Chains A and B, each alone.
Chain A
């Protein structure tokens, strides 16, 4: 079931000199199975918006409906927050800062325990979630969260959210503060989560190059309003307006534009490096150059077949792949 938002407005510090309008009459629908990217500069209202999806801020004006759970400014009927929070998983910025318990397993099973699962059940769910994010529960389960490395901490924190098998997964800048390799891993993890656990994914990001590789639809926030909400190919025709909102078009789009200015037209549909490379290869093929089949850039040599191109994947990757099989066996 989709997310339907109608006429949503929100202001911080209402009635004080600090009053600041964060959302201004937002209306949009997000369907099941979508991978939505949300963009916008700091203070554009995107964080406030996603907090509404989980009932973390009270609706002031308008209406939010998530899987049939309605949130309005009215006090009654009280929405079923527990169900809502089990439906929408929320990974905040730097989620590793929310780890608190003395072992990783206990921390990850915090959510299910809150939902009323028994300890054994909750810990079993936690084990599955850890495997799903690429951590070995036998190895890290009994460690204190603070003993883990930065990337592992973030994975553990994400496990603590997806452990409740949310149908909708919302992530606020999941790759902030990671190195390129760590980013790549988290993004691949999100794709896997989408396939195996949470069919609808909403990601906030600042990085155009990153988000365009994954999202199927981009929503751009500006000054508390939805500035753009359209498929990516169309969005990047509005390069100038995006710039005014403090956003850049992706490198691939700029490259294509630069080539076009020099007389090489790669055609439409270029949104990221994959589509750009494909278009360039097509161009070469047209000219009669021998071109191998292309199925997307293998950034870190991780796309299984034959071990990739040199960049040897660290051992951690092996754990990743083990975990991919049969997660949440009982079918979602």
Chain B
């Protein structure tokens, strides 16, 4: 239960950890958008190198980043296969076997799609690896502040979010404990078919639910008892402010995005030059 890699904070100190969390969120959003403009294998290689260097600076082992794909590997496979056989664009050559048709363009498309998804996931995990949950909610609250103008209770939403995030580790721990208690009573959760296993999880799920409600009640009481309200103007323990390192990070990130866009719109995908150069070399 404890090795849920996706979305787990990696508690080390690094320049990336110290970046303004708001900036990191903006970077992540821009990164996601940029990923859809990557036009060539050169571009994907560049993105990978970029991510690995960020990992290096953040003192997060790249292994941890790669582990985040583990959870979605089946999804990746399915999309790759679907893209491979249902490619609808123009094709130069077609290889057909029974009802399956494959073309070099389809392979190219499927590969690129897979790289895109993998890099998207890896990139977004860097945000959660390097940003604590409270920082994250503070940053979101700060970024969405303008919505206050149209009467959206941003603070309340941020509070709900931070409480929800705050509960996750506790619930995981609780699940662990109750699982152990039921296993000690001879519960078998590791064998049998899917339906058996789901049924075997009931003795765990019910107590966890009960305890989640109990904890929520207790927390609500505690907030009430202190007359806590999210809405009035509150001060923060940690004020977020931009520093010189945020500027440096912004410049690096801007350079990265610029190259990706240059690759798409100016150079038209560097791959063909590389292929040409390669052909010239052997030809």
Contacts and interface: CB of A to CB of B under 8 A. Distances in A.
Contact of A111 (B2, B178, B180, B186): B186
B2 A110 contact: no
A85 B188 CA distance: 11
Nearest to B184: A90
A51 interface: yes
Contacts of A95: 181
B183 interface: yes
A329 interface: no
| Chain A, interface residues (CB within 8 Å), range | 20 to 34
Interface string B1-18: 011000000111000000
A43 to B, nearest CB: 14
A85 B184 contact: yes
A56 B11 CA distance: 28
A100 B203 contact: yes
A245 B180 CA distance: 28
Given A13-B2, A17-B11, A110-B203, A97 B186 contact: no
| Chain B, interface residues (CB within 8 Å), range | 20 to 34
Contacts of A101: 203
A85 B186 contact: yes
Given A17-B12, A92-B177, A99 B184 contact: no
Contact of B183 (A17, A56, A164): A56
B202 A110 contact: no
Interface in A81-98: 82, 85-86, 88-90, 92-93, 95, 97-98
Contact of A100 (B10, B186, B202): B202
A18 B9 CA distance: 11
Interface of A: 12-13, 16-18, 51, 54, 56, 82, 85-86, 88-90, 92-93, 95, 97-101, 110-111, 114-115, 146, 160-161, 164
Interface of B: 2-3, 10-12, 174, 177-178, 180-188, 202-204, 206-207, 210-211
9 contacts: A12-B2, A56-B184, A82-B186, A89-B184, A90-B180, A92-B180, A97-B177, A97-B207, A160-B185
